[in-house]
Structure 1
Amino acid sequence: MILEIVSPEATLFHGEVTSVSLPGVDGSFQILNNHAPIVSILKQGVVKITAANFKFHKEVADKFTKVNDQNYTLAIQSGTIEMKDNKVIVLAD
């Protein structure tokens, strides 16, 4: 599935991922390939991204923390998420 993470300043990430875990207001949840459509509000926490390979723009690479070769995290203050047609869009602060 495609993940796009957008902040007010820039697009932080756009690429193919295996899964994404998000800090929802009612608890953390994970989205996998072919997940049902969903819209949710996010709270302060960590977005966990799993993918076969990561490509970041140099300007935003320092916002991500590498866990291992296939996992990165991104701290957010709040945001929203929409999953539809195998595309996840995260609007993050």
Structure 2
Amino acid sequence: MQLEIVTPDKQVYKGDITSASFPGTDGSFGILHRHAPMVAVLKKGSIKVLEVNSKEELFFEVDGGVLEVKHDKIIVLAE
């Protein structure tokens, strides 16, 4: 599964991941391989990412944004 996190200024992250969790406006949620297509609004908080072949978790702080999941690709337009 591929994740891309983009801000108005730059691309913050792009890579292959195993799982990720996001700070949704209705509560935190996780996404795994073969997740159903969806669009969600994010609130201020941390995105937690587990990369493929890694046991280390990565964290990215966002002030909000929008997320789209489609065909095993997650795109985050973050503030």
What is the CA deviation profile of residues 27-50 of structure 1, one whole-angstrom value per residue up to 9, with x for unaligned ones? 000000000001000000100000
- Judged with a 3 Å threshold, the aligned counterparts in structure 2 of structure 1 residues 53 and 5 are, in CA distance, closer, same or farther, namely farther
- Judged with a 3 Å threshold, the aligned counterparts in structure 2 of structure 1 residues 12 and 53 are, in CA distance, closer, same or farther, namely farther
Contact preservation (8 Å) 1:53, 1:70 = no
Q: In percent, how many aligned pairs have the same letter? A: 44
Q: Larger % of strand: which?
A: 2
Aligned: 1:72 with 2:58: yes
Q: Give the TM-score of the pair, scaled to structure 2.
A: 0.94
3-state DSSP of counterpart to 1:36: coil
| C-alpha deviation, 1:53, in angstroms | 5.6
Give the ranges of 4+ consecutive aligned residues of structure 1 lying more than 4 Å apart after TM superposition. Answer: none
| C-alpha deviation, 1:24, in angstroms | 0.3
Aligned CA RMSD, in angstroms, stands at 1.3
CA–CA distance in 2 between the matches of 1:71 and 1:7?
A: 21
Alignment of 1:24-35 (within 5 A): 24-35=24-35
Gaps of 5+ in 2: none
| C-alpha deviation, 1:52, in angstroms | 3.0
3-state DSSP of counterpart to 2:29: strand
CA–CA distance in 2 between the matches of 1:25 and 1:32?
A: 19
